[in-house]
Chains A and B, each alone.
Chain A
Amino acid sequence: MSSSNLAIEVTDLHKHFGKTAALAGLNLQLAQGSVGGFLGPNGSGKSTTIRILLGLLKSDGGTATLLGGDPWRDAVELHRRIAYVPGEVSLWPNLTGGQAIDILARLRGGVDYAKRDELLERFGLDPSKKARSYSKGNRQKVALVAGLASDAELLILDEPTSGLDPLMEQVFTECIRKVKAEGRSVLLSSHIFAEVEKLCDTVTIIREGQTVEAGRLDDLRHLHRTVVSVVLDRDAAVLATVAGVNDLVTDGFKATFTVGEEELGGVLKTISTYSPRTLVSSPPSLEDLFLRHYGGAGRAQLTTTQVAGAR
């Protein structure tokens, strides 16, 4: 991939807050016209990365390129071409939601009232209410409408659906698909696996400020084991001796195990000789990928990571 068609290119990014290292060599790439998922537990450095990309924080090392520019030096020029939706939206309590939307949109360049009013309608938001009376979900809608009403080349969304109900999440999904169809790029930081699986072409998973997994979602799945559940005509313990079977759990005739891509054919051949009554094979879900990196060695580790990463 040549750097010219990358909307975001982050290489070996470092950032410290006092003695705490928030980012320790983070890599992130987003091709233009694609939707990239950005996953990681709380405090792993997602928001710090995004704030560096927005020129709000200065990195301590490494390079970050946004739409071909330097996010710190060219902040103002770059911001005309991007839209940002924060995960925690703080609004001016004595202004209305409509005013806040227009202020944010105008700061980027201007308001497209037709688009804005259509989005207000779809999200069911009353723009004449004072922001202090909005719930978390409604505050989130204000930021979403302001961001989605723009024609920015790149949308940077930091957990944009937190606080939204499932109906509104659906509206959000449709909006992002439309953005993608228009050839625009989206960086989507999220905790909702279904959302990322539905929308994203690529995924970057980070942990403690470092990238642990990145690539096309399909490719990542290839690298991981398929989960197979079978019911055989005999004690399933026989599977223990079959080459390629891993993580075997048996319960009488029933068994669940994982198998790598290369060994799948051989394993299925062997199983067929045990005349299986049912066989279900499922590709690894994003959640599996995620848990593999965070929960693999046990839940305790995940908890420690969260504590250490939080500042």
Chain B
Amino acid sequence: MNTGTPGTHGATRPSARWDTMTGFLLCVRFILRRNWLRLLVWAAVLAVMIPVVYDSQQQAFPTQAARDAYAQVANTPAVAAMTGLPYAAGSLGGILVIKIWMTLAVALGFASIFLVTRNGRADEEAGRTELLRSSALGRHAYSMANYVVAGGLSVLVGLLVSLLCLSVSLPVAGSWVMGASIAGTGLAFVAVAALCGQLSTTSRGANSLGVAVLALFYFIRAGADLQTHGTEVSPLSWFSPIGWAQDMRPFGQDTWWPLLALVALTLLGCALALRIETTRDLGMGLLAERPGPSRGSAFLASPVGLVLRLERGSLIGWLLGAIVAGAFFGGVAKAMTTALDPTNPFAKAFMGNSASVLDGVMSLFVMFNGLLAGAFAVQCLAGARGEEANGRLECQLAGALSRSKWLLAQLLVAAVGSALMLLIGGFLTGASSNGAATGRDMAAASLGYWPAALLMTGVMLFLHGFLPRLSVSLAWAVYGLSALIAMFGPLFSLSESAIKATPFGAVPRMPIEDFALLPTVDLTVIAVVLAALGIWRFRTRDIVPE
């Protein structure tokens, strides 16, 4: 390692620098052992989107003439804001980028954040890191292994994306840039998550902070892409690593150098995180703990009061998310009203057979509000299983609290919270759209997704009753699949009736479609039945901690 410093300390000093990495490979193997299935699922689900979406686009735009026609109308503010500037919409590769690049990059960002937190701060919070660090393990070995494994997922996904692009005979240079740009985004968020894991003392805090940073970077680049006319890059996009990756422009200019910036950001971020790890105590964050109230009120001790207090941070976060998303959607709609000519026949063809292209986009935004509310509902009730898993429920039930009362309190917060998110997000979507729609109409349209959000609570309660240990993962899987089909159903060449058979797909797409009573009632009834079965089972089963 060192070519010999003279002096008495010469024998020990040189290796001291590397001592902090002792056991690194062991940690890598350990983390892979604990996460291999999770990693494989992430990699497979993300990569498989490439051939699926490519196939559907090949069918949608079979001829060059069709692609050229699409290129004429692709550059709408909605497309720019949601998925980036369509700089090469006349080629299959460029269309692939429009349809799937942003989804893959953002999803990989989420994967990086969740993985790094799960193996990093969550373990430290639970005290498992202490056990590891007490053995002959270097101070940074475990964290470094964590970052390397999470980064490895990004590289793997990038590689798979590139190979799958090549396998459908897309241009070679573009295929490699496509994979590299997605991998680069994932890597950048490994660094973001590494820093969040050092700053926050809880895994929940680390995840929330990471997701907030991701949302911030997403909105910065959305603002940048909305600002520009044509396909020139706005300087604002340089304030977001997602913007850097976008500007690699696969199947367009195929620029490689922004990847260097992304890798540099990754290395700097991880190095800084390790530096913080050196200076802080195990189990602590940089944000110090303040003393709190020494007494608990009667409200805090009520089932609803306790849920509200425990979920306080998360509730505020989700409501803020709904507000930001609503305002953002409204802003995009506003930009569209000025940019789009609703009589354009191409626009009509792509946005649906409605009188107003705008209505099509608005219905999409309304659905996003619905998906956000559904995610909140799942997360909120997953907290109930969390209370059971970590043993805190036992102490509560040892008091004079019935199981159904406890669970109904959790359900109440999930149901009312999701309704609030829908109303606020919907109202802001309309109110900030500068006349594209009214706040009242959009709030009502968003509330149309409440039965779907309730169905998510029903699914979670049902699983919580019958398969408590698997309930959280399975509920997220059900949600993820439902959301994926609602958003990309047509891209997957699913029939309309198949999409209508899924929770979010079943909801009438107001304002482009009219309100329909039947699906609303259907969703509600299924939700109530699932929830009732789940609650009944929970009342009659053993309490099972982790």
Contacts and interface: CB of A to CB of B under 8 A. Distances in A.
Interface of A: 51, 54-58, 75-77, 79-80, 82, 84, 86, 88-109, 113, 126-130, 132-133, 143
B391 A88 contact: yes
A103 B300 contact: yes
Given A96-B291, A103-B300, A106-B301, A80 B397 contact: no
B295 interface: yes
Interface in B391-406: 391-392, 394-402
Given A56-B394, A57-B542, A129-B291, A76 B402 contact: yes
B390 interface: yes
B540 interface: yes
Interface string B403-444: 000000000000000000000000000000000000000000
Interface string B299-323: 0110000100110010000000000
A130 B284 CA distance: 13
Contact of A106 (B202, B296, B398): B296
B7 interface: no
22 contacts: A54-B394, A56-B543, A57-B542, A75-B402, A79-B397, A86-B398, A90-B392, A90-B395, A93-B125, A94-B313, A102-B301, A103-B296, A103-B306, A104-B396, A104-B399, A105-B301, A106-B296, A109-B400, A126-B294, A128-B294, A129-B291, A130-B290
Interface in B86-129: 125
Interface in B186-216: 201-202
Contacts of B345: none
A109 B401 CA distance: 10
Nearest to A143: B395
Given A92-B392, A94-B202, A143-B395, A128 B291 contact: yes
Interface residues of B, number: 35
Interface of B: 125, 201-202, 289-298, 300-301, 306, 309-310, 313, 390-392, 394-402, 540-543
B400 A77 contact: yes
Contacts, number: 119
Contacts of B401: 76, 79, 107
A55 B293 contact: no
B289 A127 contact: no
Nearest to B401: A107
A51 B394 contact: yes
A30 B96 CA distance: 73
Contact of B398 (A84, A88, A129): A84
A45 to B, nearest CB: 14
B302 to A, nearest CB: 8
Contact of B397 (A55, A58, A90): A55
A129 B295 CA distance: 11
Contacts of A99: 292-296, 300
Given A90-B390, A99-B300, A75 B397 contact: yes
B291 A107 contact: no
A98 B543 contact: no
A107 B301 contact: yes
A77 B401 CA distance: 9
A130 B292 contact: yes
A81 to B, nearest CB: 9
B296 A76 contact: no
A78 to B, nearest CB: 8
A105 B313 CA distance: 25
A97 B540 CA distance: 32
A77 B292 CA distance: 32
Contacts of A126: 291, 294
Contacts of B396: 103-104, 107
Interface-central residue, A55, A77, A90, A91, by most chain B CB under 10 Å:
A90
Contacts of B395: 84, 86, 89-90, 104, 143
A127 B292 CA distance: 8
A101 B296 contact: yes
8 nearest A-B residue pairs (beta carbon): A107-B399, A102-B296, A106-B301, A98-B294, A99-B296, A127-B294, A84-B398, A96-B292
Contacts of B542: 56-58
Contact of B293 (A56, A94, A98): A98
B400 A80 contact: yes
A98 B296 contact: yes
B166 to A, nearest CB: 48
A96 B392 contact: no
A102 B291 contact: no
A135 B191 CA distance: 32
Contact of A56 (B298, B397, B402): B397
B128 to A, nearest CB: 15
Contacts of B541: 58
Nearest to A97: B294
A233 to B, nearest CB: 57
Given A58-B540, A94-B310, A95-B309, A132 B390 contact: no
Contacts of B309: 95
Nearest to A156: B398
Most chain B CB within a 10 A radius of its CB, from A51, A77, A106, A143: A106
Nearest to A15: B542
A102 B398 contact: no
Nearest to B540: A58
Contacts of B290: 130
Contacts of B398: 54, 56, 79, 82, 84, 86
A51 B293 contact: no
B397 A86 contact: no
B282 to A, nearest CB: 13
Most buried by A among B125, B290, B400: B400
A58 B538 CA distance: 12
A113 B306 CA distance: 20
